[in-house]
Structure 1
């Protein structure tokens, strides 16, 4: 029960980050090839929050073909790539979302 709530809450937090249009929102994307996962990093003033998003092989290959490693998805609240909309539209296919902070 707790794992299900944690998964839903982490998915909700990542959705809010990708939808945030605030001027202080900076979101970068990195790839973890060995896990077929995306590492989405929201850069903050005091700490960076990382989201590890595991996708299916097909979705992972689509995202990897359109976005380079280390590119900004959102810069100053402005979407820099259409992959943000793709990820939000396909969020029912997200396998798991893990969250941690980096100082």
Structure 2
């Protein structure tokens, strides 16, 4: 697929080696089987929903929903996008870290 000149970076993004998770609401997201699979695919390199669909055979709508959850909890970002020759915006997603360390205190001290 040929990329055109309508390419944009969402921001300058550098993947961290480790992300420390202190928010208990992230735990169900991080330990969800499909979301773990998606994270493992976007840790080594950014991918589009179509790239992920071709690898996993998952429904693109399901992939988008899971990626939205990962982005909402700051586990992934939309790293860049471009508009292809058909006028379709192709969004690339990337994990924010190579590893995730969960640090949860229960019951919390607050």
Q: Which has the higher contact order (CA 8 A, sep 6+)?
A: 2
TM-score of the two chains, using structure 2 as the length reference: 0.28
Find the structure with the greater CA-based Rg: 2
TM-score of the two chains, using structure 1 as the length reference: 0.29
